[in-house]
Structure formats: structure tokens, C-alpha cells
Amino acid sequence: MAAEMVNPRSDSTSGSGEGAEGVTDGEPFDPAFALHRGGKMAVQATVPVRDRDDLSLAYTPGVAKVCSAIAEQPELVHDYTWKSQVVAVVTDGSAVLGLGDIGPEASLPVMEGKAILFKQFGGVDAVPIALDCRDVDEIVETVARFAPSFGGVNLEDISAPRCFEIERKLQERVDIPIFHDDQHGTAVVTLAALRNAAKLTNRALGQLRAVISGAGAAGVAIARILTEAGIGDVAVCDRKGVVSPDREDLTDVKRELAGFTNKAGLTGSLEAALDGADVFIGVSGGTVPQDAVAKMAPDAFIFAMANPNPEIHPDVAHQYASVVATGRSDFPNQINNVLAFPGIFAGALQVRASRITEGMKLAAAEALAAVVADELSADKVIPSPFDERVAPAVTAAVAAAARAEGVARR
């Protein structure tokens, strides 16, 4: 299977008044609709079927020999099918990009795009799968049943807190890696950028106090990986303020979060928590008042990653911070998940890992940071997604970590 770009058709295929550009006739040309017409992927055979001999090998009777061998030795499925090279990209369409709950059909263009990024940046084939169900156990059961066809599953754009339970339950059911990219991909890239920002300013992670705006999938995962990496302290804020043990409105996930964050015992608002903080990490949207930003510690780091509107606009952030990052491609230091997930899966598939561990994520972050460690500047604490060194470095680090942690099977 190959994730290929498909040229948009030039003919009008709809009787509803839509032209070749995928918009109503008479409307200005829109390149996004033109690019997406017909989808962005195709299936491509990797072996020829030119004559009877080819057919007899690719299908019956030749295929029967391979099937019988796999039946006797199930591990051979990795060698004689696509299983060890392909990932399922699974969503229910409940939390898509900045669009929210748009449903499975509307999520497909994003899942196709994700599959293309897997191929382009990691050499990993991927299949987009949009599920028409929202129940946690139904999703787990569905994915577990088709898991034998894949070497890993990338969960995508599933709303919190269901995403945490789906990932946990699914990993308990299957022995292939389950990875919720909205959580862990974001966390890996954030940690890599923060490591380099600290290095640039001659500080260690252990000296930093961070405040995260957003206690959803990304916020929880970032807090966890920063804690694993040795951050000095990190407080997470939701709409009601700092997530702390004294609050009586916490979900199970937030209660667990309160147990390993906020050593300083902060309470109250996000703005209050920012007073004297070294790091702001935004994964929530909204706007942080400038007077709160002004109270951060000198040489602060501001990673305002909401799209399309960062929580703190870079023009404001640069007045107070030594390093500024966003989730946007039109500003320096883009925190982009594509820097992480292709290499992470490529490394896991390479060694037939049964899961992706915290150690593998930390190794990915360290490798990603190291790519530009000798080129650091305030505008370059993270590589470009188009830096060809990224995927090989992350892949090798993740494969080595999987072996070290005993989850590799070759």
C-alpha cells in the first residue's frame, strides 16, 4: 500500500452545481478543494501481476503456501504480509483539529492527510479509518478485532477524557503499539523544544517551573513527559484554574494529574500561576492577558500552540520571552507532531515492538532535540519538519529504547 498524492480531476462530477474545484460554480478557485477532490491516497501493488505465472504466485495457488506457513508459525505474518509496515489511523471524528466534533465522514480528509505524513516523513504506510461510534468499549472492541491486519494503531482526534480510556483499554487487548498522537506526539515535540530552549539559556530542566494551559489530551501528556524528564515543577490549568488536589470537581484523569504535578501547591487562576513561571505551554486556546505574561520570570519560554490563534501572540510573547514557539508554520519554532509520530512508529515497527513506552517517548524527544543541538538560536530550538535528519534519528532512538526496555521482538 502506498500513500500517494492524487491529482484532482478536472471534470465536473456532481449535479449539485459543483465544478472541478469542489466549490459552487461561479465561486473563486480554491486550491484546497482542488487538491482534495478524489481523495489524497491510492493503493498501489508492490509486486507485478503481468501474466499467469505472476497471478499464480501473487494469488492462488502460491498464496496458499504462505497462508499455511503463517498458520503454523504466526510470527511469519510480519515477514510475508504488510503487517510490519502499516499503521491504522483511527478516529471517531469527535475532536478534529480546531474543528471539534465534526463526525467520522468529515474527519476523513484529516486522516488521509495524516496517512500521507506517515509515508512522506517516516516511510510508513498508513490506512485512515473513521469509526461511526462513540462508546469507549465499542471503539476498543472494533479496533481490537481488525488489529491483526496492522503493525500499530495511531489514535487520532478522539475527544478527552475518552481518549485516555480507549488507549489504555486497547493496549491491554492487543500486542501492537497503540499511540494517541494528540497526546504523545505533542508531548514529545514539546519536550524536545524545551530541552533545547533550556540548553540555549544555560539552564537545566530541573531549574524550570512550567505552567500548562489545558488539561485535555495534550496537556496531560505534556505534564507527564515533563515530569518523567525531570522538570522542576509543572502546574496544569483548566477552565477553572490550577488542577490541584483540593478541588472537588476533578475527573479521574485530573485527580491523577493533581497527584504528580504542582509541587508548589498553587491554587487559583492561570494568571496567578504564571507569576514568576519560567515556561508557559498553551494547548487550550483562548487568550492570556498581557499583564499576566509580563509577570513571568526573566528569559521565559512561551510555547503558545493553539491554532490558528496562539494563546499569546508572538508579537506579545517576544516582549517578555527569550524563546517563543507556536503550532503555526508561519512562525519560527513550530511544535509540529509530524516531527515525532512517523519516526516513533517507524522505530517501533522496525523492532516489532509490542507497545510504545515512556522510555521510547523520552528517547524520541532526546533524539529530536539533538538534531539541531549544534545549531541552536532563539528561532531554532526544534528542527523543521522538512529536515531529513529527523525521521532517521527518531527511528533509531526509538528502536534502541524498545530493545532496552524489553518490548522489542526482533
- pLDDT of 25: 54
Of 299, 283, 294, 273, nearest in space to 198 by CA: 299
Q: Is 156 annotated as a binding residue?
A: yes
Cα 282 to Cα 304: distance, rounded to the nearest angstrom: 5
Q: What is the pLDDT at residue 7? A: 39
Tell me the CATH number for domain 82-176: 3.40.50.10380
Judge whether 82-176 and 182-410 match in fold.
Answer: yes
Q: Does the model's pTM come out above 0.95?
A: no
Residue 307 marked as a ligand binder: yes
Mean pLDDT, 10 residues at a time, the chain of 410 residues: 40 38 62 93 92 96 96 96 97 92 97 97 97 97 98 97 96 97 96 98 97 96 98 97 95 95 96 98 95 97 95 97 96 97 98 97 98 97 97 98 96
C-alpha cell at 120: 512522506
Q: Which residues are catalytic?
A: 59, 114
Domain range summary for the chain, segments of one domain joined by +? 82-176, 182-410
Per-residue confidence (pLDDT) for residue 388, from 0 to 100: 96
What is d(CA 275, CA 211) in angstroms, rounded to the nearest whole number? 10
User: 202 labelled as ligand-binding?
Assistant: no
Q: Give Cβ neighbours of residue 89 (< 8 Å, ≥ 6 apart).
A: 111, 114, 115, 118, 126, 127, 128, 129, 154, 156
**Three-state SS letters, the chain:** CECCCCCCCCCCCCCCCECCCCCECCCCCCHHHHHHCCCCCECCCCCCCCCHHHHHHHCCCHHHHHHHHHHHCHHHHHHHCCHHHEEEEEECCCCECCCECCHHHHHHHHHHHHHHHHHHHHCCEEEEEECCCCCHHHHHHHHHHHHHHCCEEEECCCCCCHHHHHHHHHHHHCCCCEEEHHHHHHHHHHHHHHHHHHHHCCCCHHHCEEEEECCCHHHHHHHHHHHHHCCCEEEEEECCEECCCCCCCCCHHHHHHHHHCCCCCCCCCHHHHCCCCCEEEECCCCCCCHHHHCCCCCCEEEEECCCCCCCCCHHHHCCCEEEEEECCCCCCCECCHHHCHHHHHHHHHHCCCCCCCHHHHHHHHHHHHHHCCCCCECCECCCCCCCCCHHHHHHHHHHHHHHHCCCCCC
pLDDT for position 26:
58
The per-residue pLDDT for 10 is 36
From the list 338, 335, 342, the residue with the least C-alpha distance to 306 is 335
Nearest-CA neighbor of 280 among 256, 247, 314, 246? Answer: 314
182-410 classified as CATH 3.20.20.70 = no
Q: Residue 397 corresponds to which amino acid?
A: A
Predicted local confidence at residue 27, as pLDDT: 64
Query: Binding site annotation covers 182?
Result: yes
Confidence (pLDDT) at 1: 44
Q: How far is residue 379's CA from residue 296's CA, in Å, rounded to a whole number?
A: 20
